[in-house]
Amino acid sequence: MTPSPSDAGEAVPDPVVAGAVNLRDIGGLRAGAAVTRHGVLFRSGNLSRLDPSGMRALADLHLRRIIDLRADDEVVREPSRLDGVDAVTQRVPLFLGSVESFFRDDLSLDDMYRGLVDDSSGGVVDVVRGILADQPVLVHCTVGKDRTGVTVALTLAAAGVDAEAVVADYARTEGLLPEYRNRRVVEMLRALHPEAVHLEDLATRSPAPVMRALLDDVTGRYGSAADYLRAHGLADDEVAELRRVLLREL
């Protein structure tokens, strides 16, 4: 088990769900004089490879909602295995265009994330509203790195989580992706895109400076992550409720 990072001295082991990649509880992150609650918001990669013990472990989290950020073709190719998990599944496909196109176009992480913020704002707001609707809630995509990383980061920042704690949570992903998975994926993609410069970043990395730059960009253009969500339809009372749901005073 990998302890979750916490500035509040509350390191708690990540849930062990066999077959799930990059699954963790977003609890214990400092937010000024508060901290994110444990057992409320989870994030992960896809749930298509859960074995029976993994499905039982996922059921033991007592999730009430699972928010799947993948596109239709990804869901068809790798359907979630949720036997025994009594949760609402909410589909919010975030990327405009296919995942493959990002490798073909050799986008940088910075460009991909800026595009997600600009082009999928309605989806990000839908995710936040899903988080408000039911807890515990799990947000996931295929790897739990980019779509999940950006959406969870904006959600946490809007709730008032300290910027460096948001960045640290995003950066954890790189250390949680299995090395054998990274080798296999990079080899497969390199065969398809031999000249791509950003391929390994897109497939395997979650550098802290990239998320720090994204949060700075959102703040520079909107005032804050909360103001970004407000600009795209989230109401003031929903922002206040997000803080109530996710945070507790120390």
Burial class (CB in 10 A: 0-12, 13-18, 19+), 5: middle
Name the residue among 129, 128, 237, 109 with its Cα closest to residue 173. Answer: 109
Residue 8: the pLDDT is 46
Give the C-alpha separation, 86 to 207, whole Å. 35
Place of tokens 């959600």: 155
pTM of the entire predicted model: 0.93
Q: Which CATH superfamily is domain 24-249 in?
A: Protein tyrosine phosphatase superfamily (3.90.190.10)
Query: What are the residue ranges in the chain where pLDDT is below 50?
Result: 1, 6-9
Residue 1: the pLDDT is 47
Residue 96: the pLDDT is 65
User: Are the C-beta atoms of 80 and 58 separated by less than 8 Å?
Assistant: no
* Contact residues for 12 (Cβ-Cβ < 8 A; gap 6+): 3, 4, 6, 25, 27, 28, 38
Residue 247: the pLDDT is 98
- Per domain, the residue ranges of the chain are 24-249
Neighbours of 198 (CB within 10 A): 19
